Amino acid sequence: MSETKPPTILLLDSGVGGLTVFREVKAALPGADYIYIADDAGFPYGDKPEDVLIARIVDVVGAAIAAHTPDLVVIACNTASTVALARLRGTFSVPFVGTVPAIKPACAQSKARRIAVLGTKATVSLEYTHALIREFSAGCAVDLVGSSHLAAYAEAELADTPVTDDAILAAIAPCFVDAGGRRTDTVVLACTHYPLLTSRYRKIAPWPADWLDPAPAIARRVVDLLRNRDMPETATTPPRMIFTSGRTPPPRLAAALHGFGF
């Protein structure tokens, strides 16, 4: 009996944030082979200039494609996707799935007609995001909130060295706007690191809001693109995680990564 080789899915983020995407994709397609590249040598992406980011991401993705010949690449990072997805698609022939701010679904679901987009400084300032707002906000008020710290707080949370509630509150507070009879009811998590802190946001937010994680939609897109591929029902090889710094994760982070299947 001939065995079909499962497709290889490569995921990239600047750190552990893309694991929030990986867990959804893996749950949807448990039989695929997975390589997760954490470009921690380039962390954080969110504070770097556009040209520096594009050059770095094209280099890192190019090296990963050459080394692992994936069937599909998931850019599990909003910053990298908004800044470099077009360039990646123009450079490499493998299909890409990106992670871009979920502005359309957020505006569609907001009853108050006011949402916030919480992302890195780069993501909220890029034209790509502004174009999404022009195209899809449909009269909904959109407050853009950029954070230089929240991705690092999420890294700390996963490494079991959590930061204080006050630090997290300072980062999310500008999302909560009550003006003109509209009070923010939906926050788009426009950085893949941020869903790692959702239970903490819920505890400390000034009022309840929906925290929108785009990962399930990304997983559906991956399933759709690979729908014609034969795949075993369970994994034939364990997922692999590669840190571009070459570091070995310290024990508490290693334990958390183990929880994700690594």
Could you write out the DSSP letters of every residue in 223-248?
A: HHHTTTS---SS-SS--EEEETT-PP
3 state DSSP class of 169: helix
Q: Which is nearer to ligand DGL, 6 or 13 (CB)?
A: 13
Q: Which is nearer to ligand DGL, 6 or 35 (CB)?
A: 35
Q: Answer yes or no whether residue 191 interacts with ligand DGL by CB under 6 A.
A: yes
Q: Answer yes or no whether residue 193 interacts with ligand DGL by CB under 6 A.
A: yes
Give dist(CA 11, CA 86) in Å, integer: 17
Residue 4-23 contact track with ligand DGL, rule CB under 6 A, x = bound: ---------xx--x------
Q: Which is nearer to ligand DGL, 7 or 172 (CB)?
A: 172
Tokens of 219: 């997983």
Q: Using the rule CB under 6 A, give the single segment among 2-10, 25-33, 63-71, 72-80 that binds ligand DGL.
A: 72-80
Could you write out the DSSP letters of every residue in 15-80?
A: SSTTHHHHHHHHHH-TTSEEEEEE-GGG---TTS-HHHHHHHHHHHHHHHHHHH--SEEEE--HHH
Q: Answer yes or no whether residue 184 interacts with ligand DGL by CB under 6 A.
A: no
Residues 25-54 that bind ligand DGL (CB under 6 A): 43-46
Q: Which is nearer to ligand DGL, 124 or 140 (CB)?
A: 124
> Is residue 107 among the annotated active site residues?
no
Which positions ≥6 away from 154 have C-beta within 8 Å?
16, 17, 193, 194, 196, 197
List active site positions. Answer: 77, 191
Binding residues for ligand DGL (CB under 6 A): 13-14, 17, 43-46, 77-79, 120, 123, 151, 191-193
